Structure 1
């Protein structure tokens, strides 16, 4: 009995290949119970097998070695099923009695060592979105999102509070440098004064002090449709990856789409943002990659490369800001490939929009779901690209301009303060769904059409379609409910208050209207996605037609 993650993980493909070579028969009983998921997926996983301890999938595996057996291993797989409680799972185990009592299906592994959710053969033939080892790819540069390892200290809804926290933290650290002075003394590990990372301990021993850079306070997309302030500093962040080449200063603009990286437990997701993305923008445990429309090079570097581009206008001085030249991040190789297929009218903006539109295609996501779990997207050329270009452009505008779309006409949205200060009237602590009694079970369950915003405001009339727009394991609406609540970090005691952002933008209704705007964004997103055609892949030497 083991953690069942090895059944489908990227890192265990070698193990699965070896097991299939070493044993004549393999019986697997997948008991599910992954507690690291959220939303509907968590409910499908059902109860965990052990009352305490493991939060992972649990599997029972029986390995049989028959010396008389020849040929490939016979793999017999049983999935216990969805939505089962711990007690129901244990009863099914008892009823099975032995391996002959399992309702198993036989699995034929593929060449990659996939047992479950096997990859398709045509996916590797498509154009990589950002494989640095590939001679042809769509984007020159990609980056993981920002990894701070001290989010509570360096990011939050209040820019002033973030800056104050950083100053406090650095003052404390520098005092420790003075106190210890290269000695073997133990540093003060008080988490209310400083959040220690591995690099800080090494720098402390070297006697290196920290200096605050003047241009480090930036805007960040921390979670879907959640903008915050962040202290963007290579010294005070754990890892900034390539983000300094995409957001080199606070005065340059950029946008790009973040997408979930291979191995994420949540369903594939992507979102266009115009601020520094967090590493796990899609939720804890879901690291991702960011593909920006532009990259920036210091003046005097990269200009020659830009001059060789089809988009030569980007190399002139009009595209120099703060000492950085804007360079197109879509490759010339990708442009040549698209123009060979669709004609010279194609631009690099079209390619960017095409990718964003295609990555929202339900047909694409379902057909290549297994591939997207194991590698970054590859982009097929379709017979008619223009519906995807149009969809990508419409989605981009909707997702970037979400703060200005028309709020969905929810009941209760027009509420006005009566004799109360507006800031207090619209203040949010934690939103929650209203409750209704299930007619069958008689239990109280969430009524997702109605949200209790605070003790004074309740909005209703949220359509079911709004919850179809999923970003990982949560709908966009549920992301707003999750992020726009007052939270206190246990270790440091730092309070992150979303109402501070309302004051930052000067609008006491900001969060209430944002909730209604994201309902609009969700409904309109699904209209665009539903209108996309079925995937009709162009037949050619670098792609394959659909089955």
Structure 2
């Protein structure tokens, strides 16, 4: 019968009103049979149409499940103080045993999904029979005993504590009616869909249900369907890695034990909690969802075994027997999954059962409770609880207690060696308990040092993204043992500066790592090689990456490897590629992850080493901040001060309804602002808070800058701009957008945090001057307390340019302008493009005063142009055409004119195409400035302002070309700077590492004077056989104080020769062999070489090549890397071990020995930092051992 329930939010009484006439005795001669049908229709409602497919069923289920959820929530609310109420007891049991942070709303959701999918599973178990809800729990397969017990309680068939749940009270009838009305042929048709091999309809069914049921929850939990090609690639790759990396011929199907593995790998330590006779391959999907990965694992295992049995000529009948035995003994006990939501949990069990049935497992009905599918209802990120306090709950809800007990045993006692899956995608984490937040604590460090971020809030947000927590969870299962991980996640960790601790830790935990970046980030607007839009394999905006990480029994030298491949293009192209490839057929490229950021993508080592010698922004400047964010632009910002003042008065004095309608906001939106609105204009001089700010390039607007009303106020740095005539350099730490680097600017006012465009990161600004006192005080030189440059950095810059500079040339403002010019060099931007995307720009230094002065002058011109203060702006080069009071309608460009209307009759004439296309901060300036004013009428001031923008951009293009011309005149990139040959002009004290050692320094061995007559080629011995020929003569005898002290080449320490090789090739590279030998001879005081001396030096050149100091191409030698940071870190580890030896040595001596091994004459800070980091890593890997301050090779 139809039930009529009154709820707080809706009523079904309309149904009674519509059908009340059906209950009247008819006045006409209607037959008794017809009247009975009429009367019955009032109670049973309209006859349902047949469910045609799984999509319709999912939508109907979701509709009725929503009603159940709503009513369960209301019953919980009403009975909150009745602790023995069955529904309250069930809620308490769930919260205590399984999901500790479960809210009432989430419990109501779990309950509704349990009923919906429990009924679905029961109906699907016997599709050809009639359906009776009283026997529904018995129909649930025995592989899911938990659902059987819980389902019976939720249906009110068994007690919860002392009573049964009243299912009429929570409106279960409509849901039951749905499945009772599902005809056998409908059920069969839907199940046949689930067995389809062309896709995964079960997942689509679940997604359809969740979208209809609660789309917000889907997004909140980051639940997204994993396409079968993605799952297939990961599972097949994991299977192959087990075969190739662990020697398991059957891969995922292997039944080898820990004892078998210990015999294969003698150094493998069997974990204490593991029985040596238990299977080595234990598989876990920590975010199982609908078991897509586990089902694919079953598929691969079945295919592997079938192929093996066929090779062994096992009969089909015997294969059936073997498969039935394998499933019970070796498959179900090794397959595990954790799932938090009830609907996918139930579907997971059902899908595994359907897959086994599809693969001809015929013993399904004979399975007992001990043969259950090991997919558990739990949050993988929660630690297991002890069993204390569960006895009372077990009496109340035995099924729940048993599930909790089993989950605890699995979490505490099972050692997983394979972790696979697709963790949730939720930047705003749904897992924020203290324990879960602490789980990622290891990612807060890099090489043992804590990460300190200026934007601590963003750091915490990135670190607490759910996918990061699940990555850490997976790593934790493997890091102290052995095994492998195959996950697809957000790809942000590959390059995010804030997640460098995560990368560093993954490098320590795994010996071999493969990353398949599938890209697909919608905000990056990436294109493939054919210039087509790059699409995601998911229906999400963030790009994704597959990670395959292996930790073998012992990390060998060959184990420390990183590989990456990038796939771009349409989703269809990616699906096809994933379907037809696996890890063995993927053409990965090796790369090195170098400190300090350990980025997981290839970078040019030599260029990176060169770039790293420049000064980082955070070492150049002291105070900096990200741009401010009002959080309420609709109210707190406007184009002009007058418009903003008027809006604030209206906002503060108008009725709430009018505000909501005018500004399209609810009263709940910006609650603090609504609560404080009266105070905005209560202040007599409230307009003093109206402050100009930079909204975008050349776009000055106004904000009500009262700190307590802003989302972020950026006041620590902003106060130095709000006070007066200061200037700030604007940059970005991360730039995530296709296209050339353009994210540099200046401002005299505080910038908005989105002043530049990028899909990640916010604008940062560095004030030039620091001002004392309150921001409201008028600007004066009395308030100037110094520049924002760090004293050490400024001293280093000035020291490089001594002793010929003037005070003006080396003023702090000249340094500011010099930096602005360098950052606008097209050569700089293109040469260091890959590094500019992942961190603040670095400033290359020069020891050339002429170059410094020229760049400072050009930088000063750019600053004046970009602040719109240059006198050149007073001479417009464009003309405005069209009528008066033009409204911005549609912005376009053609025929050197920027049009503001559709008809192209009004606009700015004289705008070159390169000016129209010019970008600043990721924005196309000429277009964006006008587009942001669509619908507004341009004032005379607006038109004049736009004329200035065009002049500023035109001059910027000219000056940027001139900057590169000046740099080219002084040696180009990198020669004009300290990363290049101009290092020769730098005095010794300016260099912090051997790479910058002056070529004019006194050599460590004495040199011959420039006017020295022809010298002996060698004086290694007195014997005449050491002389090259009769023409060689002894040098003239000089006074003892004047004579250089010659040494035979054989007596020169070989490490000293290697240092000379590095020194010579640093000054000039490449050199052919004869020229290099000649330079070496001159370095040690000779103009010619005898045969033995030449042989010795040629052997030294071979050593230099072998040690990685130089490389030889035919007859030419060139330097491999100028500085220590230019080398591959893993290669450096090998070098350090080779240089150290097996005798105890102090760490300081080992570092010096390591430096000489690579030909470095001195151990500067860069070498010391690198060597200490290498020591840490080698100690962790067991390749070095320590005894207090001493170390030695193992």
Deviation at 1:428, TM superposition (A): 1.3
Task: Give the Cα separation in 1 of the matches to 2:526 and 2:637.
Answer: 26
> Aligned to 1:60, what secondary structure does the other structure show?
strand
Determine if contact 1:466/1:519 at 8 Å carries over to the other structure: yes
> Are 1:141 and 2:623 matched, yes or no?
yes
The corresponding residue for 2:725 is 253
Equivalent positions of 1:150-165 (< 5 A) are: 150-165=632-647
> Are 1:26 and 2:513 matched, yes or no?
yes
Task: Give the Cα separation in 1 of the matches to 2:774 and 2:664.
Answer: 42
> Are 1:383 and 2:847 matched, yes or no?
yes
Task: Give the Cα separation in 1 of the matches to 2:785 and 2:555.
Answer: 63
Task: Give the Cα separation in 1 of the matches to 2:823 and 2:664.
Answer: 41
Unaligned runs of 5+ in 2: 1-487, 984-989, 997-1065, 1067-1121, 1123-1194
Task: Give the Cα separation in 2 of the matches to 1:269 and 1:464.
Answer: 21
Q: Runs of at least 4 residues of structure 1 off by over 6 A?
A: 39-45
TM-superposition CA deviations, 1:302-335 (whole Å, max 9, x none)? xxxxxxxxxxxxxxx9624xxx557543455444
Find the partner of 1:76 among 563, 571, 576: 563
Find the partner of 2:501 among 5, 8, 14: 14
Task: Give the Cα separation in 1 of the matches to 2:909 and 2:529.
Answer: 26
Deviation at 1:299, TM superposition (A): 8.1
Deviation at 1:460, TM superposition (A): 6.6
The corresponding residue for 1:294 is 769
- Higher fraction of helix: 2
> Are 1:394 and 2:861 matched, yes or no?
yes
Task: Give the Cα separation in 2 of the matches to 1:513 and 1:195.
Answer: 43
Find the partner of 1:415 among 881, 889, 892: 881
Bigger-Rg structure (1/2): 2
Find the partner of 2:788 among 329, 334, 337: 329
Determine if contact 2:627/2:751 at 8 Å carries over to the other structure: yes
> Aligned to 1:355, what secondary structure does the other structure show?
helix
Deviation at 1:10, TM superposition (A): 1.6
Deviation at 1:458, TM superposition (A): 5.2
Determine if contact 1:361/1:532 at 8 Å carries over to the other structure: no
The corresponding residue for 1:269 is 743
Judged with a 3 Å threshold, the aligned counterparts in structure 2 of structure 1 residues 517 and 428 are, in CA distance, closer, same or farther, namely farther
- Higher fraction of strand: 1
Task: Give the Cα separation in 1 of the matches to 2:669 and 2:959.
Answer: 41
Determine if contact 2:873/2:948 at 8 Å carries over to the other structure: no
Determine if contact 1:407/1:520 at 8 Å carries over to the other structure: no
Task: Give the Cα separation in 1 of the matches to 2:897 and 2:527.
Answer: 19
TM-score (norm 2): 0.35
Count of aligned pairs between the two proteins: 468
TM-superposition CA deviations, 1:252-292 (whole Å, max 9, x none)? 22222211124655746111122221122103644122122
Task: Give the Cα separation in 2 of the matches to 1:141 and 1:483.
Answer: 31
The corresponding residue for 1:361 is 825
The corresponding residue for 1:524 is 958
Judged with a 3 Å threshold, the aligned counterparts in structure 2 of structure 1 residues 530 and 94 are, in CA distance, closer, same or farther, namely farther
Find the partner of 1:431 among 883, 891, 896: 891
> Aligned to 1:98, what secondary structure does the other structure show?
coil
> Aligned to 1:405, what secondary structure does the other structure show?
helix
Worse overlay, 101-110 or 535-544:
535-544
Find the partner of 2:812 among 348, 373, 380: 348
Deviation at 1:393, TM superposition (A): 1.0
Worse overlay, 113-122 or 2-11:
113-122
Equivalent positions of 1:458-537 (< 5 A) are: 462-466=911-915, 469-486=918-935, 497=936, 499=937, 502-503=938-939, 506-507=940-941, 509-510=943-944, 513=947, 516-517=950-951, 519-533=953-967, 534=972, 535=974, 536-537=976-977
TM-superposition CA deviations, 1:133-165 (whole Å, max 9, x none)? xxxx44343232222111222222132221223
Task: Give the Cα separation in 2 of the matches to 1:35 and 1:4.
Answer: 13
The corresponding residue for 1:104 is 588
Task: Give the Cα separation in 1 of the matches to 2:517 and 2:627.
Answer: 33
Task: Give the Cα separation in 2 of the matches to 1:520 and 1:341.
Answer: 34
Task: Give the Cα separation in 2 of the matches to 1:43 and 1:270.
Answer: 30
Determine if contact 1:281/1:288 at 8 Å carries over to the other structure: yes
Task: Give the Cα separation in 2 of the matches to 1:45 and 1:23.
Answer: 36
Deviation at 1:340, TM superposition (A): 1.8
> Are 1:222 and 2:695 matched, yes or no?
yes
Task: Give the Cα separation in 2 of the matches to 1:457 and 1:414.
Answer: 8
Task: Give the Cα separation in 1 of the matches to 2:943 and 2:711.
Answer: 35
Judged with a 3 Å threshold, the aligned counterparts in structure 2 of structure 1 residues 92 and 77 are, in CA distance, closer, same or farther, namely same
The corresponding residue for 1:58 is 544
Worse overlay, 1-10 or 22-31:
22-31
Deviation at 1:519, TM superposition (A): 4.8
TM-score (norm 1): 0.72
Task: Give the Cα separation in 1 of the matches to 2:639 and 2:527.
Answer: 29
Judged with a 3 Å threshold, the aligned counterparts in structure 2 of structure 1 residues 278 and 40 are, in CA distance, closer, same or farther, namely farther
RMSD after superposition: 4.1
Task: Give the Cα separation in 2 of the matches to 1:69 and 1:328.
Answer: 50
> Aligned to 2:688, what secondary structure does the other structure show?
coil
Task: Give the Cα separation in 2 of the matches to 1:341 and 1:74.
Answer: 40
Q: Which has the higher contact order (CA 8 A, sep 6+)?
A: 1
